[in-house]
Amino acid sequence: MAVKIGFALLWLALVLYAFFLAPPSDPNTVNLIRDLSFFETEDINPLLVSLFNLMGILPLMYLPFLLVDGKGQKLPAWLFALISFGVGAFAILPYLALREPPVRFPGTKNWWLKILDSRLLGIFLSAAFIGVLVGGLLAGDWGDFLRQWQTSRFVNVMSLDFCLLVLLFPALLQDDLVRRGLDRVKFLQALLWVPMVGPLIYFCIRPPLAESDNTSSEQVATGSSPT
């Protein structure tokens, strides 16, 4: 319960910061978002382009774990996953605050979940994440980015959103370890807490999720559970 309250308070702090403490909105924000969305990026800092694209890749990386986790929830995990493509951690945090920790995957995987559960998808998205990140870091103008971070609410809040999405992965992946029977592998338990590097490696090496004919979800309360 304490961790759930922590996620709820973090979400509240994020909302309050975004609306009341972040830098004021830039009049050019709408045009910037339009240009980024339609890949008209010739005159835009590559670092900002990279960050914007990563905010599209990260919800895709959350998607397999959210939908698998949602099979044992009363919450519509797919709805939170869908909203996260637009608002990132603003949608992930409420889900983490409201969910229960199911241990086993109930039922069988449909074709959609089989695709999401595949290592090939994990490798593809991890490679895309690394490629976009490295490209932005190498080609970006850090001085210009810092100026925009200080003066643009969109850039400032998006940067914070990115950091939260990177840091929140272990909250879902710890239960995923249990579902796949890997919760006693100390190396993996420690690996998940290495920001982004650990989740990327786990995304690529995780074994297929075991299916079950039992359609009821089981729940446990453990000290290591994130919720």
- In the predicted structure, residue 35 carries a pLDDT above the cut 90: yes
Q: Which helix (H) or strand (E) holds 8?
A: helix 2-16
Q: What is the pLDDT of residue 216?
A: 42
- In the predicted structure, residue 220 carries a pLDDT above the cut 70: no
- In the predicted structure, residue 223 carries a pLDDT above the cut 70: no
Q: What is the pLDDT of residue 20?
A: 94
pTM, two decimal places: 0.87
Q: What is the pLDDT of residues 173-184, one digit of tens each?
A: 988 998 888 888
DSSP annotation string for 174-214: HHHHHHTT-TT-HHHHHHTTSTTHHHHHHHHHPPPPPP-S-
Span 118-136, average pLDDT: 95
DSSP secondary structure code for residue 117 in this structure:
T
Would you state the structure tokens that stand for residue 90, as one six-digit string? 């603003």
Confidence of residue 221 (pLDDT cuts 50, 70, 90): very low
CA-based R_g, the chain, Å: 18
Do the Cβ atoms of 172 and 66 come closer than 8 Å? yes
Q: What is the pLDDT of residue 100?
A: 86
